[in-house]
Amino acid sequence: MRPSKFWIVVSVVMVIAVFLAACQPSAPVATQVPAVQEPETQAEQPSVAIESPAVPAPSEVVQITMWDIPQSEPYTVWWENYVKRFNEANPDIKVTLEIFETEPYKTKITAALASGTTADIIYQMAGPDAFKYFAEGKMLPLDDLLDVDKFSESALEICSYEGQVVCMPLYLAPSFIYYNKQMFAEAGVDVQSWSNPMQPTWEEFLAACDALKAAGFVPIALGNADQWPGMFWYQSFQNRYGGNEELFAARDGKDGVTFTSPGFIKAGELVQELDARGYLPIGYNGIGGGDKYSLFTQGIGAMIYQGPWMMGYIVDEAPEDFEFGIFNFPSFKDGNPSSQNDIMAGVDALWITANSRHPEAAAKFLNGFAERENAISFMNETKNVSVIKGVTEYADDEVIKLMVAEASKAPHFMPWWDIDLPAQISEAILNNIQALFAREITPEQFAQLVQAAAEQR
């Protein structure tokens, strides 16, 4: 969630298989009352030493602080309630939850990790940047702290570095295109008429967009001020033509593949087609923060491409009669046959930092998240796909069930590029994605800028 906002490719079959199956106060010291001295004029009496009873030291209250971002309002509310329940049940531990807006948090966490001033528990997506901090000794290994047996093996794999579990996976975040059923109906678009109702071909998708536009609707609710929503489209287009094989080869500088290879150029062309066809909101490059979600929840745009955190925004913001569905990113007849059913997904995570004076208490708090009752309520209240074994079968939302079913069909997960790619490369993509969408630079120029960044590593 990336929102005001986990992401690394694993076998989806493994995913579904496992889814289904401080302040410390000093204790007061006992005081001793001096022997009572009678006035000298009185008769001498035996001196008696009187000691007050030893005052028992109060239980030490361990202070734990957690930093997180507001994935959605239901997500934030769930954590606030869990913190309250945990503190009440554990009077010797006091957890304080601090929530920061997504973009400011990125700056804050980078500075805090550099200066060694982080909280006990921090939010950070699993990926190369976070693993680097672990390698530098700024995060703690969790194998002996976390109840790892309760988590799906595939989620733990994403949260592992050099054979050690280094973070606690929060949820699996497969991304789909969400669509407004009423808008589709008014525009005469019937997903059941597609060759695959859960995944249109590119031609079927374009036809749907044209029908929506003709009906007076904005086909695609894209708010790209935060840059990564546009990157979602670019990377998914690349996936359909070059697949993960091309991506990883370009990332690793292997086999002569670069970020100017055919799949990347084609992705740039398709991104610009969305703008050229008038499918995007006016001023989309200036719409960010929560407003980018409101484009969809308030009925301004008919479709939005997001992770499951989008459901939290729908629950929180959309009208009560709001009806929506989901489908996978379009397929391309002339694309890479092995990647047409891939799904973009990742895992958001929490970490225990080396700054924590009480890692065992922090781990106790995190292990409570994995308890079945808490895991089920987290899934159903926040609308996220659980990574706790045996929990997804208790989903009370049909869309969550559909996400799990669709994920079971996907041959690969495509990772979030801003997490999986080295920082120089991802920054080059993000810093230029607005210009690419607005057709201010060509796909070739965009690709060259990214490749230049890759060569500077």
Which tens digits make up the pLDDT trace of 23-54?
A: 333 333 333 333 333 333 333 343 333 343 44
What pLDDT is recorded for position 347? Answer: 86
CA dist 308 and 380 (Å) reads 12
- At 370, the pLDDT band (50, 70, 90 cuts) reads very high
Round to whole Å and give the CA distance between 455 and 280: 33
Residue 51: partners with Cβ closer than 8 Å, 6 or more residues away: 30, 32, 33
Compute the distance between CA of residue 98 and CA of residue 79 in angstroms, rounded to an integer: 10
Q: What is the pLDDT of residue 37?
A: 38
Q: pLDDT category, 143, cuts 50, 70, 90?
A: very high
In residues, how long is the chain? 457
Q: What is the CA radius of gyration of the chain?
A: 27
Distance in angstroms (rounded) separating the CA atoms of residues 327 and 105 = 31
DSSP designation for 149: G
Range with top average pLDDT, 2-6, 28-32, 168-172, 331-335: 331-335
The answer to whether the pTM exceeds 0.85 is no
Q: Please give the Cα distance from 78 to 88 (Å, whole number).
A: 16
- Condensed to tens digits (0 to 9), the pLDDT of residues 149-173 reads 999 988 898 899 999 999 999 998 8
**What is the layout of strands, in order, in the sheet containing 218-220?**
218-220, 301-306, 176-180, 324-327
Encoded tokens for 66: 């957690």
Task: Please enumerate, as own/partner, the contacts of 435-440 that have beta carbons within 8 Å and a separation of 24 or more.
Answer: 436/230, 436/234, 436/268, 436/271, 436/272, 437/224, 437/230, 437/271, 437/272, 437/274, 437/275, 437/280, 437/284, 437/285, 438/275, 438/285, 439/272, 439/275, 439/276
Residues 331-335: contacts with CB within 8 Å, 24+ apart? 331/196, 331/199, 331/200, 331/201, 331/202, 331/240, 332/201, 332/202, 332/240, 332/241, 333/201, 333/202, 335/240, 335/241
Q: Which domains does the chain have, with CATH numbers?
A: 12-22+61-173+345-405 (3.40.190.10), 176-344+422-455 (3.40.190.10)
- The encoded tokens of residue 14 equal 């493994």
Nearest by Cα to 176 from 12, 324, 287, 321: 324
